[in-house]
């Protein structure tokens, strides 16, 4: 069984439509693929309709979250950005829907602000084009990166991040996020399974400690992504040990984004026993779907 539990489509910042993503997963020899767009379930229906025979899709999302450290002497606690995957939750759970809408609307506000800052500096980018690329999906920095590539300002999405879109860039604007404990609670209340995405992706900024992961586990976190393209071997070893210590499910995933990133589907995989644990943890009516064999 070849299982990849984290991939993006045009419902957020991937470049394959949900149907193309399912076809690509089958072509990559996967048995199970998860669709986990940022702050959105918009790709779920199309993925279900376009499902190749024998391929299983696990429907989920990836939420932008923040962890706030304990405040010391009245000073605010240290804030760390992180991503939480939520699998197999009930997409009609209203509180969770409201939170996803809040996050997506703020992505648009923030996207406009980044574009305005770039325009003020003379960069050839427009909100209209960014918005067109994003369609009705969640807007993200990769959409802006693609406009800069189209305009010949840079030659790749990666270069656009390095030069203009990284967190420390003068054009960077923060977006709304969900407190990580609230994200776990919303996921559990909707019958879903919360898994901490790329916990030690240090290239993206500060990461949380093992003690914080223990706090999240106590709050109901079900698993952590161990094998991820942004994790070096030592971090994978450390995360595998943390998962074992805390009784957490250990997953592996490509975090595929189509041509917005260089990692192919199935670059990292989840062990079948860990996948079974994840299925066992879900309590909502949302089940994995299997593509029917054509007649």
- The contact set with Zn ion (CB under 5 A) reads 62, 255
- Nearest residue to Zn ion, by Cβ distance, number only: 255
Q: Which residue in 211, 183, 205 sits closest to 196, CA to CA?
A: 183
**Does residue 133 touch Fe ion according to CB under 5 A?**
no
Q: Identify residues 172-211 at the interface with Fe ion (CB under 5 A).
A: 197
Minimum CB distance to ligand AMP, residue 167 (Å): 8
Which residues sit opposite 252 in a β-bridge? 227
**Does residue 13 touch Fe ion according to CB under 5 A?**
yes
Which one of 261, 268, 270, 282 is in contact with ligand AMP (CB under 6 A)? 261
Q: 238 near 206, Cβ under 8 Å? A: no
For the CA atoms of 195, 190, 30, 15, the dihedral, rounded to the nearest 10 degrees, stands at -90
Question: Mask 50-89, x = binds Fe ion (CB under 5 A)?
Answer: ---------------------------------x------
Minimum CB distance to ligand AMP, residue 260 (Å): 6
**Does residue 275 touch ligand AMP according to CB under 6 A?**
no
Contact partners, residue 169, CB within 8 Å, separation at least 6: 163
The number of C-alpha atoms within 13 Å of 56 and in the hemisphere containing its C-beta is 14
Q: Identify residues 9-38 at the interface with ligand AMP (CB under 6 A).
A: 13, 38
Helix, coil or strand: residue 65: strand
Query: For residue 228, what are its two tokens?
Result: 């991820």
Query: For residue 44, what are its two tokens?
Result: 């779920």
**Does residue 257 touch ligand AMP according to CB under 6 A?**
yes
Which one of 43, 137, 140, 192 is in contact with ligand AMP (CB under 6 A)? 140
Query: For residue 255, what are its two tokens?
Result: 């975090």
Contact partners, residue 40, CB within 8 Å, separation at least 6: 11, 12, 61, 100, 104, 137, 138
**Does residue 157 touch ligand AMP according to CB under 6 A?**
yes
Q: Report the partner that residue 157 touches, choosing among Fe ion, Zn ion, ligand AMP, none (CB closer than 5 to 8 A by kind).
A: ligand AMP
Helix, coil or strand: residue 34: strand
Q: Which residues bind ligand AMP (CB under 6 A)?
A: 13, 38, 140-142, 157-158, 161, 257, 260-261
């Amino acid at each position: 069984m070849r299982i990849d539990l984290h991939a993006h489509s045009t419902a957020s910042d991937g470049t394959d439509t949900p149907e193309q993503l399912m076809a690509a997963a089958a072509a990559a020899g996967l048995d199970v693929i998860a669709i986990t767009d940022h702050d959105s379930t918009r790709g779920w229906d199309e993925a279900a309709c376009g499902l190749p025979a024998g391929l299983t899709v696990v429907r989920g999302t990836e939420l932008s979250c923040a962890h706030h450290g304990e405040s010391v002497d009245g000073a605010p606690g240290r804030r760390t950005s992180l991503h939480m995957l939520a699998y197999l939750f009930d997409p009609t759970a209203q509180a969770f829907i409201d939170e996803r809408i809040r996050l997506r609307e703020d992505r648009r506000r923030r996207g406009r602000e980044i574009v305005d800052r770039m325009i003020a500096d003379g960069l050839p980018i427009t909100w209209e084009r960014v918005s067109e690329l994003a369609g009705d999906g969640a807007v993200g920095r990769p959409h802006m990166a693609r406009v800069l590539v189209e305009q010949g300002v840079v030659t790749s999405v990666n270069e656009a991040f390095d030069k203009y879109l990284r967190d420390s860039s003068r054009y960077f604007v923060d977006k709304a996020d969900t407190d990580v404990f609230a994200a776990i609670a919303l996921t559990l209340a909707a019958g879903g399974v919360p898994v901490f995405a790329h916990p030690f992706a240090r290239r993206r900024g500060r990461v949380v400690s093992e003690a914080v992961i223990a706090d999240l586990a106590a709050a109901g976190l079900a698993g952590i992504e161990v094998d991820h393209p942004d994790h070096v071997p030592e971090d994978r070893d450390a995360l595998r040990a943390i998962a074992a210590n805390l009784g957490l499910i250990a997953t592996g995933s490509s975090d595929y984004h189509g041509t917005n990133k260089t990692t192919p589907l199935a670059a990292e995989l989840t062990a079948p026993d860990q996948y079974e644990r994840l299925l066992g943890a879900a309590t909502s009516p949302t089940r994995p779907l299997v593509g029917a064999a054509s007649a």
